[in-house]
Structure 1
Amino acid sequence: MNPQDYEVDIVPLTHSDGGGFAAIVPELPGCRSDGETPQEALDNAYDAVRCWLEAAEEMGRTVPQPRRLAA
Structure 2
Amino acid sequence: MKKILGILVIATLSLSAILLVGSCAKPPVTEEKTEVATEEEVKFTTVKEGVLTIGSDIAYPPFENVEGE
Q: TM-score range, shorter-chain basis?
A: 0.3 to 0.5
Which protein has greater RCO, CA pairs closer than 8 Å, 6+ apart? 1
Q: TM-score, normalised by structure 2?
A: 0.33
- Larger helix percent: 1
Larger-gyration structure (1/2) = 2
Structure number with the higher strand fraction is 1
TM-score, normalised relative to structure 1: 0.32
